[in-house]
Amino acid sequence: MMLEDYRIYGDVLVFDTTYRTNRYNLICAPFVGINNHWHNCMFACTFIRDEKTESFVWLLETFKKAMEDKTPTSIFTNQDQAMANAIERVLPNTRHRLCIWHLEQNAITRFGALKKDKEFKYAFNQCLKGCVTEQEFEEKWQAMMQKYDLTTHSWYKRVYELKEKWCPALSRDFFSARILSSQRSESTNHAIGFKASKATTLIEFNTTFKKTTNRWRSTKKYDEFTCSKLIAFTSLPLSGMLKHAAQVKGYTQKDFEEEFGYSMATTIQMIGRTEECVFYQVSLEDKPWSAHQVNYIHESQCVWCTCKHFEASGWLRYHCIRIIHLHSVTRILDKYVTKRWTKFAKIEAWNRLKNQDPTQPYMPWSQTMMKNYYNLILKSQENKETRAFMEESFRNSPKLVEDLLDTAAQREEGAEVASDIPDVADNTQSNNDVSSASSTSINVPTILDPKRAVTKGRSKRAKGGL
């Protein structure tokens, strides 16, 4: 299920290690995404002993292999250099974004005497997430540095060097599903770790983890059912665009309705035109500083806005909706309907299950056989003869399986091949003979608790009497 979710919603990944640890101080680090109902979905979860570059490299390579080598478009992490090094090595084509929430928390500890200055905090927040263009960001950042004499401050210089990773104005060309911080991962921490403490064992955590993911999937099923049966209703007149939004998006109609309502509260001004394109300036009536330029192409009915909201989130913002509505377009163009946000996001997965060949062995068979063999091994481990029999059977089984597969392949090709597969009964008798003569002794290992790990920021995360 996690792999199916990652195939559809794996374009954005949130990976964070600032979580509560367990009895052994191991670090819990979930891989979290966002589904088409704007809820958390779990892709994977890991425990690691340390936060070194090599550990993160191994972890990301293992995750990538498990997810069929598909890499996300954007990945959000905290400000950890070891993690950044690992992402650069394993996911070189993925856009690495820093969590603004963590950046804000780190900044508070660096404000010093400026912590009580409201004007400075406002200016810093504007640089952090209030700029639309790169020019606007540069002007505000340099003005803040000059006004508060921070040009030589090492921390602010370091943050400025990383601006490509956290400044929204410099990252609007990359899809990020409107995540400006790892709030998704923070909410996962509360959802998974609410029962965890310094006394929690790995088995107890696993039980809590499975209950959490099952609860998320139950919510997902309810959302899918609701959006498939819901009748479109809106407080606004049900225009063609709203009807189409309800048809293709269902559950997201409320979000689209909100943007549509904002579009009706905007003022527009035509600032130029060519034979193919018309240029508008759109802004909210009470917020003239929110103005954006929107270009409309007549022939294709396409729009482009300086806010680049669609490129970053897959949603049309009210600037574009206003211009589309102005030109009497009653349907949302297919290119502006991002499938991962629609109620048809999992249609390929459902069709794949529906069209599955019933003659093919179903995947859970392997799980059933592993369980049966495991139970047989546990039952046999206390007796020397049964252990020897199991070992000899395993040594002979690969040869039998290969012979059966070769015979089946030859039969399919129409070749007349004499069957020389060893008789299973004779083999069983042979195994009994070997087991009676064998006296191999196997020592069952004692599994000890893992050693406590020493992690970064342990004193900050740890609570209680540790």
Chain segment 291-315, per-residue pLDDT in tens = 888 999 988 888 988 888 888 888 7
CA distances, 392 to each of 12, 89, 369, 430, 435 (Å): 49, 44, 19, 9, 8
Of 218, 248, 281, the last residue of a domain is 218
Q: Quick one: pLDDT at residue 114?
A: 83
- Predicted pLDDT at 354: 65
Same domain, 135 and 202: yes
Residue 325: inside a domain? yes
Question: In terms of residue numbers, what domain contains 266?
Answer: 240-345
Buried/exposed code over 376-413 (b: 16+ C-beta within 10 A; e: otherwise): eeeebeeeebebbbbbbbeebeeeeeeeeeebeeeeee
Same domain, yes or no: 179 and 59: yes
Decide if 362 is inside a domain.
no
Evaluate whether 242 touches 236 at the Cβ level (below 8 Å): yes
* 214, 290: one domain: no
Sequence-ordered list of residues with C-beta below 8 angstroms from that of 390, at least 6 positions apart, any chain = 376, 377, 380
In this prediction, residues 438-465 reach a mean pLDDT of: 58
Mention every residue, 6+ apart, whose C-beta is less than 8 A from residue 322.
263, 264, 266, 268, 282, 294
- Residue 466: pLDDT band by 50, 70, 90 thresholds? very low
Longest dimension (CA), the chain: 95
Residue 161 CB neighbour total at 10 angstroms: 9
Domain contains 449 = no
Q: How many CB atoms lie within 10 A of CB 268?
A: 16
Q: Is the pLDDT of residue 186 over 60?
A: no
Asked whether residue 32 falls in the same domain as residue 99, the answer is yes
For residues 1-26, average pLDDT: 82
Query: Is 15 exposed, middle or buried, given 0-12, 13-18 or 19+ CB atoms closer than 10 A?
Result: buried
Would 288 be classed as within a structural domain? Answer: yes
Beta bridge partners of 296: 278, 303
- Strands 95-98 and 27-34: what pairing? unpaired
User: Rounded distance, CA 141 to CA 169, Å?
Assistant: 12
Helices (H) and strands (E) in the chain, counts: 19, 9
Burial class (CB in 10 A: 0-12, 13-18, 19+), 296: buried
- 57 and 150 in a single domain? The answer is yes
For residue 283, being part of any structural domain is answered with: yes
3-state DSSP call for residue 131? coil
For the cut 50, the answer to whether the pLDDT of residue 424 exceeds it is: no
Task: Based on the fold, state whether residues 289 and 188 are members of the same structural domain.
Answer: no
- Please identify, among 155, 185, 218, the residue that sits at the C-terminal boundary of a domain: 218
- Residues 79, 173, single domain; the answer is yes
Average pLDDT of 252-259? 69
Q: Is the same domain home to 161 and 287?
A: no
Model confidence at 254: pLDDT above 70? no
End position of a domain, from candidates 218, 250, 276? 218
370 within a domain of the structure (yes/no): no
Residues 6 or more apart in contact with residue 110 via CB below 8 angstroms: 153, 155, 156
Task: Look at residue 28 and give its three-state secondary structure.
Answer: strand
Rounded CA gap, 86 and 77, in Å?
A: 12
Contacts of 17 (CB under 8 A, 6+ apart): 27, 28, 29, 48, 51, 78, 80, 83
Q: What is the DSSP string of 137-197?
A: HHHHHHHHHHHTT-TT-HHHHHHHHTHHHH-GGG-TTS--TT-SSSHHHHHHHHHHHTT--
Q: Please, what sign has the CA dihedral across residues 50, 53, 57, 63?
A: positive
In this structure, are 84 and 131 located in the same domain? yes
Question: Is the whole-model pTM more than 0.75?
Answer: no
79 shares its domain with 195: yes
SS3 372: helix
Give the chain's domain count.
3
- What's the CA gap between 150 and 117, in Å, rounded? 14
The 10s digit of each residue's pLDDT in 59-115 is 999 999 999 999 999 998 888 889 999 999 999 999 998 887 778 777 888 887 787
Q: 181 and 129: one domain?
A: yes
pLDDT band at 355 (very low <50, low <70, confident <90, very high): low
Strands (E), 336-420: none
Q: Is 117 part of a structural domain of the chain?
A: yes
Could you count the other beta carbons within 10 Å of the beta carbon of residue 458? 14
- Both 170 and 95 in a single domain? yes
Structure confidence by residue, pLDDT tens digits, 199-244: 778 888 888 888 888 888 888 888 777 776 655 555 666 667 777 7
Helix (H) or strand (E) holding 320: helix 318-326
